[in-house]
Amino acid sequence: EKGTYPHYMLKEIDEQPLVIRNIISKYQDENGEVTLAEDIRNAMKAADRIYIIAAGTSYHAGLVGKQLIETVAKKPVETHIASEFLYNMPLVSEKPLFIFISQSGETADSRGVLVNVKKLGYPALTITNVPGSTLSREADFTLHTFAGPEIAVASTKAYTAQMAVLSLLAVDAAKAQEIELDFDPIKELSIVATVMEALCDQKDALEKISRDFLNVTRNCFFIGRASDYYVGLEGALKLKEISYIQAEGFAGGELKHGTIALIEEGTPVIALATQKHVNLSIRGNVKEVAARGANPCIISLEGLNSENDQFVIPKVHEYLTPLVAVIPLQLIAYYASLHRGCDVDKPRNLAKSVTVE
């Protein structure tokens, strides 16, 4: 039930801190350490390459998952769109592990890949919010995202829950390989939950940003580099899905290879700046678009921010910034949808779970 909330989406955005705390409590052992089931740990350890398969928002979580597993657990990972992998399967390594990410566990495109992968005899792990679902039953192993039912068509809490679980999977796989961690994963996730709360308390500021930048526009671009690029893709999907504003996410460095031609006087460009090693470069991209008339909105991480940034996110561990950076984008999309009088929870032409190919 949505209780006093006007929409499920808003309620589900607000539930994110709780979901992260729930995940921590489900996955930590009595010593406060992350421990996953032994068979999952062994499968991760045995794999020479990991293939993440998913669609939509879950695909965007998979992009972040790739980065988490590669940096923390030092395993090569490829993330693929399920419907593409289905008919255009790349050569796979000798000992692959397939990871399916799906909120519903019923997405037909992902299931198609799972069926093929099982025929080939490869191991499969499903990360899902619905443990009894098809993708969960048909895979060898399941990790539950514990986000609670997600009703709004636009996925919010399932996405952050997927990334949180992927971070724990990466940590567990690192431990299995005796890779030293230079951070405390549980502590850092708790900080994420606290920062999420602070962000959810900033609704008025984000509603104002939504009004100032998106009220009259027909399109909007999101730019970022490294993990901010992945979060930008998700921000664009949220915005287009529920407000029908044409929105695209781009890698900052790709702008000059074509996209910048789309910038006109007043085009809103939402730029994410949460990554230290690319902070100067993304700010350079902002200058490039501003010089061509764009209306840039910079969302940065505390410590990397400039004086005139439109919104600053409190600091979290650099690996976990996508979990918090998406929240302003979810809220900006929510208010854009609301201001345009759209059906926030049930956007046109869309179903909550896509069970046909």
Residues tagged active-site:
352
Collect all residues with Cβ–Cβ distance below 8 Å to 150 and sequence separation of at least 6. 12, 103, 129, 156, 157, 158, 352
Query: CA–CA separation, 282 vs 286, rounded Å?
Result: 6
User: Among 31-39, 103-111, 189-197, 211-219, which window interacts with ligand M6R (CB under 6 A)?
Assistant: 103-111
E strands of 237-281, at which residues? 246-251, 268-273
If binding is defined by CB under 6 A, does position 12 make contact with ligand M6R?
Answer: no
If binding is defined by CB under 6 A, does position 160 make contact with ligand M6R?
Answer: no
User: Among 90-98, 150-158, 205-213, 303-311, which window interacts with ligand M6R (CB under 6 A)?
Assistant: 150-158
Nearer to ligand M6R among residue 230 and residue 289 (C-beta):
230
The H or E element containing residue 51 is strand 49-54
Q: What number of residues does the chain have?
A: 357
If binding is defined by CB under 6 A, does position 56 make contact with ligand M6R?
Answer: yes
Nearer to ligand M6R among residue 145 and residue 267 (C-beta):
145
If binding is defined by CB under 6 A, does position 166 make contact with ligand M6R?
Answer: no
User: Among 2-10, 55-63, 208-216, 267-275, which window interacts with ligand M6R (CB under 6 A)?
Assistant: 55-63
Exactly one of 67, 79, 103, 321 binds ligand M6R (CB under 6 A); that residue is: 103
Determine contact, residues 353/107, Cβ cutoff 8 Å: yes
User: Among 39-47, 54-62, 138-146, 176-184, which window interacts with ligand M6R (CB under 6 A)?
Assistant: 54-62
Nearer to ligand M6R among residue 52 and residue 255 (C-beta):
52
The number of beta carbons lying within 10 Å of the beta carbon of residue 341 is 7
User: Tokens 């068979």 belong to which residue?
Assistant: 39
Q: Ramachandran region of residue 238, left (φ > 0), alpha (ψ -120 to 50) or beta?
A: alpha
Collect all residues with Cβ–Cβ distance below 8 Å to 220 and sequence separation of at least 6. 213, 214, 236, 239, 245, 246, 247, 267, 268, 269, 270
If binding is defined by CB under 6 A, does position 16 make contact with ligand M6R?
Answer: no
If binding is defined by CB under 6 A, does position 125 make contact with ligand M6R?
Answer: no
Q: By CB under 6 A, what part of segment 291-330 binds ligand M6R?
A: none
Binding site for ligand M6R (CB under 6 A): 55-58, 102-104, 107, 110, 153-155, 237, 241, 353-354
